Structure 1
Amino acid sequence: MNPTTHRSASGADGCPFSASSEWPETPTGCPVSPRAAAFDPFDRPYQLDPAEALRWSREQEPVFYSPKLGYWVVSRYADIKAIFRDNLTFSPSIALEKITPASDEAQAVLERYEYGMNRTLVNEDEPAHMARRRELLEAFSPEALEAHAPMVRRLVREKLDAIIHLGRADLVAEMFWEVPLTVALHFLGVPEEDMEQLRRFSVAHTLNTWGRPSPEQQVEVAEGVGKFWQYSGQVLKKMQDQPRGHGWMYDMIEKNRQKPDVVTDNYLHSMMMAIIVAAHETTALATANAFRQLLSRPAVWAELCDNPELIPAAAEECLRHSGSVVAWRRIAMRDASVGGVTIPEGGRILMVTASGNHDPGHFENPDELDIYRDNAVDHLTFGYGSHQCMGKNLGRMEMRIFLEEFTRRLPQLELEEQEFTFLPNTSFRGPEALWVRWDPACNPEHREPAVRRAQRDFPVGAPEARTIVRRVRVASAKPEARGVLGVSLVDPVGRQLPAWSPGSHLDVMLPDGESRKYSLCGPAEAGDWRIAVLLEEAGRGGSRWMHDAVREGIELRVRGPKNHFRLDESAGRYVLIAGGIGVTPIMAMADRLKQLGKPYEVHYAGRSRESMAFIERLERDHGEVLRLYPKDAGKRLDLAALLAEPVEDALIYACGPERLLTALDFDTAHWPEGSLHVEHFTAEGALLDPEHEHAFEVELADSELVVEVAADRTLLQTLRAAGVDVPSDCEEGLCGSCQVEVVEGEIDHRDKVLTAAEQASQDRLMSCCSRARGKKLKLAL
């Protein structure tokens, strides 16, 4: 057995690896794998690309102990999110602890400056965290942040005006570093004359907390951090001495006077220093990362220039693909299991969010920068749960305005050949310089002066999946069976379309603005997008339009690919069941299982052989395991007999009409929980009917907020209006994206995602459609 590629709990000690006694051990006494023993976040691979450096971990060892760092490293999306959600078991108290302990000489320097940085929102435990967070939230609401947009636009435009005639610039030095700092100072209400000092100090703070400075550097860094603390205290005193000013710090000064036990003097000072770093550096680095990634893909940059409505989605995808926040830290307050590995009480944890953002278990084709990705908002760059970044929407606003100004005024921008350098640390990442060039003679405003001010504004907040639409061209449209139209899609300008995984589907936009879902039917390869559309005479008209209007050469507008019917490839064997047009995702799954060499069988039922699509292909590629049940030939799929005996380590995947899925629910009741996986494409009973609804109250336990859900509003809409980010996709109760945890209250379930047992547990709901049976729900948000 290769200990770097296999995990097993079969050893006598329950350790995931077997090894000789010479190997280093975890704090629990288990051997450390060679890859884990070699891991060092200050080595070049992690510093250049943290997600790529931990690919091996995502694939083989998602939770491991790093002896060089003294931390447990977590690399997969679901595990990181679970840690974020439980801030009682996994305390944030070490989030700002120095990775490299301060030397005696450096500590003496900090003491000389009376450095007293205390806990802030980032590293506070409950109940203090939420008591203070409540006092700070108002200024971060979408409505409040909207007022800052003209100031951000003015700053970006002034900086661009200063360089637009030059033809070459380092965007970090000229714009990306200074503008977010100025925005942060305006937001806080800090005088602008202090800007240059604070710029230098924030760099020292990053290296001091998340870096590995040498003993000599430690003393130098400590000087910078001490001066930062001292100087920010002087600025705070200046603000406190003024009767009243505009900005978040003035609001906090007033809170300090009203509630000195909650917003203490030291807390004011600590928060001021922390927010200058957080609001400034993370946005500056994120913007530099975004421009680097987009400009290194000229075709993507050109597409964004041609379709500026995609800017919010592009900014969000850049935050996912190459966000500025690489990792966060926690400490286990008790023994706890993460990804099947026990982290002991006192274990320090490095959650590498950059790795989680590249987890193929959550993001389709995760290493691709896809500005059409409609679940990019699920990224972990802002954190998750009660400690999610409060300033996320301010950062989004700044990135969008940068992109909007540049795509409109300098669409000819190009990235120069250069070697990128990064400030060495574990947790924040962005290039120290970003050199670009352009031909000033080609500036659009020379021809059309109005271009300079022809701005496009975007709503504050996360981009809505419904606005992210891709154009595709129909390469072919031909019958696949009686009443079934097969459609092959390609990129209109010849680019390769993104890869997808079995179970994925597209939302095809209709002329009336509605959409219909169609599974991609394989083979599941990059650039090969094929769907099949059944003509439903009793349907809502979408399939009729597809059959009548779709012809080779026309363009369609689609969203996706999306996958809410993902194939779990870890089972021992598979039973695949298709009814009618439900064969489309099942066929792609069969292709994948054959490729993996997994045991599987395919059962395909339909009205007649002539109406059953892809029979010839299935017989050719899967003939040995294929069973056909055309009804007109007297063949019937007997589910009760087929599924009479549960099969050990087997999973069932099924897609087809509702009557088939309902029967499967009944006929697999004696199988182990989680054996059956189905896909629904209809949502009867899930849509809101205001005339028959009642209003109810929702308490957000983590945020200590109470909101009212009106009879004509969904819970999801209400949460978003309150500034709470909840991922969503279909918003019809079919996909499971908007699931939230329920602490108390009786739920009126209306989704097609949760099993009967899961609904009966009353511990979760789909916020897009489900509601309270009574007058109140309490949610873990």
Structure 2
Amino acid sequence: MSPSDASLRAQREQGCPFSSAVNAKGCPASEMAAQFDPFEGPYLVDPAEALRWSRDQLPVFYSPKLGYWVVSRYDDIKAVFRDPILFSPKNVLEKITPPTKEAVEVLRGYDYAMDRTMVNEDEPAHMARRRALIDHFLPERLERQQEMVRQLTRERIDAFIDSGRVELIDAMLYEVPLLVALHFLGVPEDEIATLRTFSLAHSVNTWGKPTPEQQVQVAHDVGRFWQYAGEVIEKMRAETAGDGWMHYTIRKNAEMPEIVTDSYVHSMMMAIIVAAHETTSLASANMFKTLLSHRSAWEDICADPSLIPNAVEECLRYAGSIVAWRRQTTGPATVGGVDLPEGAKLLIVQASGNQDERHFENADRFDIYRDNAVDHLTFGYGAHQCMGKNIGRMEMRIFLEEMTRRLPHLRLAEQEFSYMPSTSFRGPDRLWVEWDPALNPERDDHALAEKVRHFPVGAPAAKEIARSVRVSALRQEAEGVIGVTLEDARGRPLPDWSAGAHIELCLGDVERKYSLCGRPGNGRYEIAILREDAGRGGSRHFHEHLREGGELRLRGPSNFFRLDEAAPHHVLIAGGIGITPIIAMADRLKAIGADYEVHYCGRSRRAMALRERLQADHGSSGCVHLHIGNETGRADFAQIVAELPEDGRIYACGPDRMISDLEAQTADLPDGSFHFEHFTAQNVALDPDKEWAFEVELVDSGLNLSVAADETLLDALRNAGVDVPSDCCEGLCGSCEVTVLQGGVDHRDKVLTRSERTENRRMMSCCSRAKNGQRIKLAL
């Protein structure tokens, strides 16, 4: 323990549960941990930035002020969500600020008996109820709600479009989500103002830090909310043919009272009014504030509305309304290398995980072209992922589509932003915007208000996410290899990237991925393309059609081939055009002063792209080894592997034969020693006449799916409303990986190692299938 932590010793000895949590990684406390306060200061303004120190230094720490263990990294948060048994959600609705005796007495006077709801219920009760009540949340049912949402949005915009200035939350972003929620639930719309007071009180009561005096008033509001919910339920019970999710829930209560109980109906009635609109209202306010603060993104959306679905996802990632959620361990657990005792309370900060650079490339940059924005954790993950996620997405897309079309000249007004103190919900209290009504485009185009764009309910389509770039330079890198320099078509700097990253180029109907091989940070991208006349035609197309000054589309950057920079030694092996990610890795390792060596294999000097730059930049230290087929023969991979120092890492990119050889040579090394990337894919197109249909059980979601012979597992999952990220859809990148619990898998990817395939715990949903039509179980 460092000297700076000495002031915490007495506190730890008096009950802080560090004795069972200390391990080889050290004590999970620091001065920063002692100062952490989710109700004021930096966390209230920007929770992701406030926890940057934690992501970098102490990703799991104990907060003495809060009495919770705070989890800040993406993978750790996702691991907690993934196991709802070990990490129980039972504390989600506990009052984070202990109630005063006076507040408890007030609630008792209202017979307040808030019990389990969808968000804080343990298994198996949770999944049984979720299965019974999920039907209304499926994409095909929600499609029917789109016109109602758009009509409500238009009415609000019509009311203020000629005013030139408006507080957007009061004018639209609070009331429309509330009306949508009430319509979805089938609840009367006659007490909007009262419900707003009730909803705010419930949020403050559960996740806020009210003073003792405020607690009494909040308790009265919560108690009245509880009574109101009960009264509405009784009215709805009499409407046997009523429409809406609460009517459906009440009917399920009559059909299966042991699963959908009376107390559950009352508790859900109160909880879902808050959940169905508060989070969408706050997320929408965050979205407009973020986009109007990043003017180029707003202008790009105005010019190309197809970007809206992914822009919404990026807003949810960068500034989502759900900042953090809670869990409690039901037994000893390990999170982020820290051992936790049974009963430990966890604050898992999704806002921090959503800006974790270990998962998101250039994570603290807002980028509506980010191709894995949908990976965000704002909706949670696993068994308790938000059932209403697609309602929120739908509303936010319609808000953005209507506003960018009708008020493209909208701007933020000068103002100070404030936020309600809360561990879990975040959004500005007010959002003033302004514009010049004389410039409203519908004054000249009276049909503009009717020119709407429809977005299907669900996660965004990856094919729509692409930015325009220009070829600024072409050069001959080697025999059959061209070097390409790309710049943003609008003259902006392209996003930064990390060693091992790739982009996807789109020219006409041809789309191919290429590793970045330049130096990050200069706002341009460099790639090298080998012409393969025997391939599928992509490289030939780019060789023949790329021209200096020409424009094309680009996706990314993405990185599924990341360096472990902390390893004591790195062996980098490139075969042919596989030098492109390898030279970027060498550049990075040199920059940070790491120990590395490079082995570059090629058939001849003339065919080895970037050879001269590799030798000039890295050859002086003697770490570059050329293995030239027509001069020195093939590399001795057995010797290279045998000389790998303890805890060293091997990174390789090249043709299949080279990767297979290295897999065999590294089979006895510890897991994680060998990392590889293929640069070609097999033909993964389905031939329905040769495929088996198969059944899939999604254990976390409680769903059973049939995957037809002419569809992929990924397609079937998305059709069922299950969000699974994807990128290449060729089995190369690993982004669509799902966890296998049971059943044989026909692995067709180029991501998993031999041992991982034998273990049969993971599969790539874009290409792999169940063996011979077997039934498989997945942790989804």
Q: State the TM-score, normalizing by the size of structure 2.
A: 0.97
Q: In 1, distance between residues paired with 2:374 and 2:604?
A: 43
Q: In 1, distance between residues paired with 2:191 and 2:415?
A: 32
Whether the aligned pair in 1 keeps the contact of 2:488 and 2:524 (CA below 8 Å) is no
Q: Which amino acid aligns with 1:735?
A: C
Match among 108, 131, 135 for residue 134 of structure 1? 131
Q: Which amino acid aligns with 1:467?
A: E
Q: In 2, distance between residues paired with 1:675 and 1:401?
A: 48
Match among 698, 705, 723 for residue 696 of structure 2? 698
Note the C-alpha offset of 1:200.
1.0
Aligned counterpart, 1:581: 577
Q: In 2, distance between residues paired with 1:616 and 1:587?
A: 11
Match among 207, 211, 228 for residue 210 of structure 1? 207
Q: In structure 2, do the counterparts of structure 1 residues 264 and 603 end up closer, same or farther at CA, with 3 Å as the change threshold?
A: same
Q: Which amino acid aligns with 1:286?
A: A
Aligned counterpart, 2:492: 495
- Written as runs of structure 1 = structure 2, the 5 A alignment for 1:230-245 is 230-245=227-242
**1:593 partnered with 2:589:** yes
- Written as runs of structure 1 = structure 2, the 5 A alignment for 1:318-397 is 318-397=315-394
Whether the aligned pair in 1 keeps the contact of 2:578 and 2:679 (CA below 8 Å) is no
Q: In structure 2, do the counterparts of structure 1 residues 184 and 20 end up closer, same or farther at CA, with 3 Å as the change threshold?
A: closer
**1:259 partnered with 2:256:** yes
Q: In 2, distance between residues paired with 1:550 and 1:173?
A: 51
Note the C-alpha offset of 1:682.
2.2
Note the C-alpha offset of 1:686.
3.6
Whether the aligned pair in 1 keeps the contact of 2:485 and 2:527 (CA below 8 Å) is yes
Match among 515, 518, 523 for residue 519 of structure 1? 515
Q: Which amino acid aligns with 2:17?
A: P
Match among 4, 7, 12 for residue 24 of structure 1? 12
Q: In 1, distance between residues paired with 2:453 and 2:439?
A: 21
Mean CA deviation greater in 196-205 or 542-551: 542-551
- Report SS of the residue matched to 2:710: coil
Whether the aligned pair in 1 keeps the contact of 2:418 and 2:429 (CA below 8 Å) is yes
Match among 593, 596, 603 for residue 599 of structure 2? 603
Whether the aligned pair in 1 keeps the contact of 2:173 and 2:284 (CA below 8 Å) is yes
Match among 79, 83, 98 for residue 101 of structure 1? 98
Q: In structure 2, do the counterparts of structure 1 residues 685 and 539 end up closer, same or farther at CA, with 3 Å as the change threshold?
A: closer
Match among 615, 629, 641 for residue 643 of structure 1? 641
Q: In structure 2, do the counterparts of structure 1 residues 555 and 2 end up closer, same or farther at CA, with 3 Å as the change threshold?
A: farther
**1:541 partnered with 2:534:** no
Whether the aligned pair in 2 keeps the contact of 1:510 and 1:542 (CA below 8 Å) is no
Note the C-alpha offset of 1:668.
1.6
- Report SS of the residue matched to 2:718: helix
- Written as runs of structure 1 = structure 2, the 5 A alignment for 1:728-743 is 728-743=726-741
Aligned counterpart, 1:779: 778
**For each residue in 1:92-124, what CA deviation from the matched residue of structure 2 results, as whole angstroms up to 9, or x when unmatched?**
000110001111100011111111111001000
**1:725 partnered with 2:715:** no
Note the C-alpha offset of 1:515.
1.1
Mean CA deviation greater in 189-198 or 356-365: 189-198
Whether the aligned pair in 1 keeps the contact of 2:204 and 2:210 (CA below 8 Å) is yes
Q: In 2, distance between residues paired with 1:636 and 1:150?
A: 65
- Written as runs of structure 1 = structure 2, the 5 A alignment for 1:454-465 is 454-465=451-462
Aligned counterpart, 1:467: 464
Q: Which runs of 5+ in 1 are unaligned?
A: 5-16
**For each residue in 1:158-186, what CA deviation from the matched residue of structure 2 results, as whole angstroms up to 9, or x when unmatched?**
00000000000010110001100000000
Mean CA deviation greater in 635-644 or 430-439: 635-644
Taking only the aligned residue pairs, the percentage that are identical comes to 61
- Report SS of the residue matched to 1:643: helix
RMSD: 1.4
Q: Which amino acid aligns with 2:618?
A: H
Match among 380, 394, 399 for residue 396 of structure 2? 399
Q: In structure 2, do the counterparts of structure 1 residues 684 and 163 end up closer, same or farther at CA, with 3 Å as the change threshold?
A: same
Note the C-alpha offset of 1:685.
5.5
Note the C-alpha offset of 1:598.
0.4
- Report SS of the residue matched to 1:521: coil
Whether the aligned pair in 2 keeps the contact of 1:420 and 1:431 (CA below 8 Å) is yes
Whether the aligned pair in 2 keeps the contact of 1:188 and 1:250 (CA below 8 Å) is yes
Whether the aligned pair in 1 keeps the contact of 2:68 and 2:345 (CA below 8 Å) is yes
Aligned counterpart, 2:75: 78
**For each residue in 1:627-678, what CA deviation from the matched residue of structure 2 results, as whole angstroms up to 9, or x when unmatched?**
1122222343221222224421210011111111111111222322221111
- Report SS of the residue matched to 1:342: strand
- Written as runs of structure 1 = structure 2, the 5 A alignment for 1:539-688 is 539-623=535-619, 624=621, 625-684=623-682, 686-688=684-686
**1:452 partnered with 2:449:** yes
Q: In 1, distance between residues paired with 2:386 and 2:62?
A: 27
Q: Which runs of 5+ in 2 are unaligned?
A: none
Match among 752, 755, 774 for residue 754 of structure 1? 752
- Written as runs of structure 1 = structure 2, the 5 A alignment for 1:411-426 is 411-426=408-423
Q: Which amino acid aligns with 2:262?
A: D
Q: In 2, distance between residues paired with 1:634 and 1:699?
A: 54
Q: In structure 2, do the counterparts of structure 1 residues 526 and 84 end up closer, same or farther at CA, with 3 Å as the change threshold?
A: farther
Aligned counterpart, 1:194: 191
Q: Which amino acid aligns with 1:265?
A: D
- Report SS of the residue matched to 1:449: coil
Match among 469, 474, 478 for residue 477 of structure 1? 474
Whether the aligned pair in 2 keeps the contact of 1:24 and 1:37 (CA below 8 Å) is no
Q: In 2, distance between residues paired with 1:309 and 1:587?
A: 36
- Report SS of the residue matched to 2:369: coil
**For each residue in 1:455-480, what CA deviation from the matched residue of structure 2 results, as whole angstroms up to 9, or x when unmatched?**
00101001122221111011111111
Q: In 1, distance between residues paired with 2:718 and 2:49?
A: 33
How many residue pairs match? The answer is: 768
Aligned counterpart, 2:47: 50
**For each residue in 1:52-104, what CA deviation from the matched residue of structure 2 results, as whole angstroms up to 9, or x when unmatched?**
00000000000011111000000000000000000000000001100011111
Q: State the TM-score, normalizing by the size of structure 1.
A: 0.97
- Report SS of the residue matched to 2:767: coil
Whether the aligned pair in 1 keeps the contact of 2:12 and 2:18 (CA below 8 Å) is no
- Report SS of the residue matched to 2:134: helix
Aligned counterpart, 1:11: none
- Report SS of the residue matched to 1:703: coil
Structure 1 consecutive aligned stretches of length 4 or more whose deviation exceeds 6 Å: 17-20
Aligned counterpart, 1:9: none
**For each residue in 1:426-483, what CA deviation from the matched residue of structure 2 results, as whole angstroms up to 9, or x when unmatched?**
0000001111110101111001011011000101001122221111011111111121
Q: In structure 2, do the counterparts of structure 1 residues 19 and 419 end up closer, same or farther at CA, with 3 Å as the change threshold?
A: closer
Q: Which amino acid aligns with 1:527?
A: G
Note the C-alpha offset of 1:526.
5.0
Match among 256, 271, 291 for residue 294 of structure 1? 291
Note the C-alpha offset of 1:20.
7.8
Q: In structure 2, do the counterparts of structure 1 residues 142 and 526 end up closer, same or farther at CA, with 3 Å as the change threshold?
A: farther
